[in-house]
A = this chain, B = another copy of it.
Amino acid sequence: MSENKVAIGFGIASKNNNGDWLEAYYPFPMLNPTDALLADLRAVTLSAEGQNATVELFSQDLNDLIDRLDKHPETKSWLYQGMEWMSSVQPIVLVISELQKPPETVPEIYLHLHLLSHRLVKPHSISLEGIFGKLPNVAWTNLGPIDLSELKGRVAEARGQGKFIAVKSVDKFPQMTDYVVPAGVRIGDASRIRLGAYLGEGTTVMHEGFVNFNAGTLGTGMIEGRISAGVVVGKGTDIGGGASTMGTLSGGNSVIISLGENCLVGANAGVGIPLGDRCTVEAGLYVTGGSKVSVLDDQGKEVKKVKAGELAGMNDLLFRRNSISGAIECLTNKKAIALNEELHSNN
């Protein structure tokens, strides 16, 4: 993770009537800028090496920054892609962020979330410490973000004019697609993917799918279930309709769930333990860490009974509930001896 050192964001933000940041949008977030570029930006933000900076730019400074960006080949194009930076009616913000430090300002937190959804950094590779307490709760409307204390006045005013303000969510996190649409994805209902989600190329999130921040898919996958905060899913893994991955925020245990590659979690199933590669959980079955499971070898004979948590991270497992006996079984393609050894090595 040492390579994820510094990022810069030059973007358009919004503030409430008190001048507090509500959010920030970065069309071109950049990871690990060159030393020359970084030095130029530090000159504008007046920040020392190793320091984080969040600076709102007004006419003089903005002009200065634009001149500098124009000299670097990797940022020159930022100035000519539809954005009229100088004439923006919204605040312009420049952020420099050391990524292993907890982000402090709202624009800096938004930069971290952008980096994830732009696939510039992987989940769990940069600091998101304390962001929940620092992000404001915002009304996300068809007119953009509105401070909650200002909402009612705006709504009443609009109504009297025959207009309509629709509030689509009231949340600390916006939906990802209003900021970033990564290449090679399909998303049935974009209200269910928070900014900060990481969707690998080739991912389809169907309408029943959900992806929280600092979570997502590393490659292709058909996601029709819920990827909770922190959960990472390997490539080729499908999550069936309504299936659940247990998070650590509420009700879940403290183990961070991950799923390996080429797994299949059936519709309405649930996973409360990390899975290795090529695992299957039968439709409708919820496997929690504490479930006692009858482990069967490649001949279908029971090797032993274990708590599902002891099978965490193992490959080539199939979980099902025996529809005659009602017992949760775990089938494997391993022989009894090899399986026994693997189970003991996990103890």
Contacts and interface: CB of A to CB of B under 8 A. Distances in A.
Residue of A85, A210, A267 with most chain B CB atoms under a 10 A cut-off: A267
User: For the side of the interface on A, what is the size category?
Assistant: 35 or more
A82 interface: yes
Nearest to A205: B170
Contacts of A37: none
A240 interface: yes
A242 interface: yes
Contacts of A83: 156-157, 160
Contacts of A285: 284, 286
B167 A293 contact: no
Given A82-B157, A162-B90, A192 B207 contact: yes
Q: Across chains A and B, which 9 residue pairs bring their CB atoms closest together, nearest first? A: A326-B326, A284-B286, A144-B164, A167-B177, A82-B153, A82-B157, A244-B267, A88-B160, A89-B162
Given A170-B190, A272-B283, 11 more contacts: A27-B152, A83-B160, A139-B177, A167-B178, A167-B181, A168-B177, A222-B250, A251-B266, A268-B269, A292-B323, A324-B328
Interface of A: 12, 25, 27, 81-85, 87-90, 137, 139, 142-145, 148, 151-157, 159-172, 175, 177-178, 181, 183, 185-192, 207-208, 210, 222, 224, 226, 228, 238, 240-242, 244, 246, 249-251, 264, 266-270, 272, 282-286, 288, 291-294, 305, 321-328
